[in-house]
Amino acid sequence: MTGDAAGSGRFDKLLVANRGEIARRVFRTARAMGLRTVAVFVAADEDAPFVAEADEAIRIDGYLDGEAIIAAAAATGAGAIHPGYGFLAENGDFAAATQEAGLAWVGPSVEAIRAMGDKIEAKKLAIEAGVPVLVSQEDPARFASIGFPLLIKAAAGGGGKGMRIVESAAVLDDAVVAAKREAHAGFGDDRVFAERYVARSRHVEIQVLGDSHGNLVHLGERECSIQRRHQKIIEESPSPFVSDELRAEMGDAALRLAAALQYRSAGTVEFLVDDETGGFFFLEVNTRLQVEHPVTEEVTGRDLVRDQLRIAMGQPLGYGQDDVTFEGHAIEARLYAEDPANGFLPAIGTLDAFAPADEPVLRWDTGVEAGSVIGVDFDPMIAKVIAHAPSRTEAAGRLARGLEDLHLDGVVTNRDFLAAVLRTDAFLAGDTTTDFIERIAPSQQRTVPTDQVERLAVAAAMWVQGDNRSRARTLAALPSGFVVGRIPPERVELGHQGDTLTVHYRRARDGGFRLGSDGSGGRAVVHHWAPDGIDVEVNGHRLGLRVSTSASRIQLTGAGGGVGFDLVPRFSVPEIELPGGAVAAPMPGKVLEIRVTIGDEVQVGQVVAVLEAMKMENHLAATTHGHVTEVRVAVGDQVEKDVLLMVIEPAETADGN
């Protein structure tokens, strides 16, 4: 089968030129439509779930290797390529090469991709279509003419890469240099431009769909204002701010621009909405499916991937604007391997546990499972979690509860932060401007009451003793703690947030356990033990818990959340202490800049090094005033997490005070 941008006939096998949850999402709809599926994968993904789920999988060297992807399609007999979202999804050259190879391209025309791929040119087209835009400047030498604060953006891409808020002329030059470097690393194009920065604003986008028969519709709006590092983490539809009148205005503006592009397939027209005036301004067009598309699917009942595939086959959309209806409210949270308490820096590790609770029923779009490795090769997103309910308040509560009840361990995540956001009064009131995180400061970590931690520590000890009995090879029929004479109680030591909790227990004649070194700590009863859970009563509190362990940890999750403990060994190797004033790598990455040399005096907060991880720059600052005494790395070095980069001797030490 051959096809142009709009498609010219049916295909029965689809290659997805993407990975993880993106590939799994497209596979799900393709299978439902009776299509065969082909995956491409790199070495780092050879054990990823999406590879096994495809009907066929072809190994390639990189997801940006368009020639290899097209060759894989030819080798497997695929008739079409779906680029997913990210990687080559908005690459006009790849779309053109796909069609030149006789394959259907599941996406808009090459012309539309190229026109919208350059944000500077896209803004000019928006102006021609009568769409409001923000004051901007393309010449870095004239950025200051906009006034401060201003926002620097990459001309060739988004996702927060190359984006900088600049508050004053004093830091403008450094911000331009950093933005250009990050834009080049992320998109191979270092061009940047500046726009007026609107502090109290909302990020609202309109989903559009068009076919090759002249049909063009929008599916309402999504609000994506809650962001960190200029990247979305919570999205919803409909927006709590947008009125019916504003929705109609924004929808009409989006359709005017889509019509000017003769748009086919799924796309998103993004706007900035001024929270004070209600005015809206064009930001960009994403010529692909968006990460947050599930919230639109939930409230409209439409499968956007199905629409994409039908359009690529040359079929009409099958419905018009009057057929689009909305039901209830949907909210999506992006669960990332990252540390909110450390500037949302990405985290790595192995998912020792990943198991959503049976209730509440949520939509989990994920590319991982228990045992998956979260590394530095790709975006650290673990899952998109979506709740749909009759009301916004119910959707928020349902989503928060589902996140809290997720059995998760092995990697630091933003799970508790997301749940905290969803439960804030400001979020529930719809006060969700782009400065939400800085202005509201939701809790970054879940606080568990001391008495609850102590009960869970007892539950952990009870699970450990049960596990020990299950592994016994001799006298396995005897109960745990059975003795002929009197010996001291057994004990389990557990680490939690820097503290060590010691649980003493001794089996009683009635089958329960007396707690405490002298039996005065109360009583525990194990009602049921299993390798993956325990039903235990601790001093009258009945706990049904899911349990998972690794070599050094035990994680327990029940209603309302979980707690992880480190299993403290009887004998441990002393930790190596870093010297005072040490600057260590907060994550694995590449050293881009070293801004100091030995002997330099530095102040608290001064940036001393720049580390690149996952295509994002991370500025490392001095935590003490003093002099640089050691620099242990050089520009270009690849370093692991916690590696010592440099040492700053505190001024009071250097002065002998």
pLDDT at 474: 58
Q: What is the pLDDT of residue 107?
A: 97
pLDDT tens-digit series, residues 519-533: 899 999 999 999 999
pLDDT digits (tens, 9 = 90+) for 360-379: 999 999 999 999 999 888 88
Instruction: State the average pLDDT over residues 462-475.
Output: 82
Contacts of 475 (CB under 8 A, 6+ apart): 482
pLDDT at 339 over 80: yes
pLDDT 10s digits, 29-43: 999 999 999 999 999
User: What is the per-residue pLDDT for 3?
Assistant: 38
Distant-in-sequence, close-in-space partners of 637: CB < 8 Å, separation ≥ 6: 590, 591
Structure tokens of 121?
């040119």
What average pLDDT does range 480-491 have in this prediction? 62
DSSP letters of 610-623? EEEETTEEEEEE-S
Q: Assess contact for 205 and 287: CB atoms under 8 A.
A: no
The 10s digit of each residue's pLDDT in 598-644 is: 999 999 889 899 988 766 778 888 888 999 999 999 999 988 888 89
- Quote the CA–CA distance of 379 and 127 in Å, as a whole number: 34
pLDDT score for 7: 45
Contact assessment for residue 488 and residue 515, using Cβ atoms and an 8 Å cutoff: no
Interval 310-319 mean pLDDT: 97
3-state secondary structure of 545: strand
pLDDT in tens, 405-458: 999 999 999 999 999 999 999 999 999 999 999 999 999 989 999 999 999 999
The per-residue pLDDT for 481 is: 53
**Helix 392-404 × helix 415-423 angle, to 10°:** 150
pLDDT at 515 over 60: yes
Residue 256 has pLDDT above 70, yes or no: yes
Mean predicted confidence (pLDDT) in 90-117: 96
- Hey, what are 356's tokens? 């959503």
Mean pLDDT on 20-24: 97
Beta partners for 647? Answer: 582, 630
Q: What is the pLDDT of residue 473?
A: 64
* Whole-number Å distance between alpha carbons of 72 and 291: 25
Nearest to 182 by CA among 640, 619, 594, 638: 619
Helices (H), 56-159: 66-76, 92-100, 110-117, 119-128
Looking at every residue in the chain, the average pLDDT score rounds to 91
pLDDT of residue 67: 98
Alpha carbon distance 217, 636 (integer Å): 49
d(CA 374, CA 639): 17
What gap in Å lies between CA 111 and CA 285, rounded to an integer? Answer: 13
Share of the chain above pLDDT 70, in %: 93
CA-based nearest residue to 419, from 391, 442, 436: 442
| 8 A C-beta contact, residue 602 and residue 627 | yes
Share of the chain above pLDDT 90, in %: 77
62, pLDDT greater than 90: yes
Q: Which residue has the higher pLDDT, 107 or 86?
A: 107
Can you tell me which residue has the tokens 């497997």?
76
In 32-92, which ranges are E strands?
36-41, 56-59, 80-82
Domains and CATH numbers, the chain: 13-106 (3.40.50.20), 135-197 (3.30.1490.20), 329-440 (3.30.470.20), 450-567 (3.30.700.30), 582-654 (2.40.50.100)
Output the pLDDT for position 249.
97
Name the pairing type of β-strands 553-558 and 561-567.
Answer: antiparallel
Q: Residue 210's closest CA among 111, 86, 304, 110?
A: 304
pLDDT-based confidence at residue 577 (cuts at 50, 70, 90): low
Query: Which of 549, 544, 113, 178 minimizes the C-alpha distance to 350?
Result: 549
Residue 488: pLDDT over 80: no
Give the model's pLDDT for residue 408: 96
Full-model pTM: 0.85
User: What's the pLDDT at 573?
Assistant: 53
Q: What is the token pair recorded at 433?
A: 């401007």
Element (H, E) at 151: strand 150-154
Q: What is the pLDDT of residue 8?
A: 53
pLDDT tens for 144-181 read: 999 999 999 998 877 677 889 999 999 999 999 999 99
Phi, psi at 274, each rounded to 5°: -75, 120
pLDDT band, very low/low/confident/very high, at 553 (cuts 50, 70, 90): very high
Distance CA 370, CA 506 (A): 34
Cβ pair 49, 369 in contact under 8 A: yes
Range in 6-10, 17-21, 79-83, 341-345 with the lowest mean pLDDT: 6-10
Torsion angles phi and psi, residue 173, rounded to 5? -60, -45
> Rounded to a whole number, what is the largest CA-CA distance in the chain?
91
CA-nearest of 85, 73, 66 to 23 is: 85
Which band of pLDDT confidence, cut at 50, 70 and 90, is reported for residue 182? Answer: confident
Inform me whether the pLDDT recorded for 214 exceeds 90: yes
Tell which residue, 536, 509, 645, 629, has the closest CA to residue 588: 645
Instruction: With beta carbons less than 8 A apart as the criterion, state whether 30 and 309 touch.
Output: yes
**How does strand 36-41 pair with strand 56-59?**
parallel
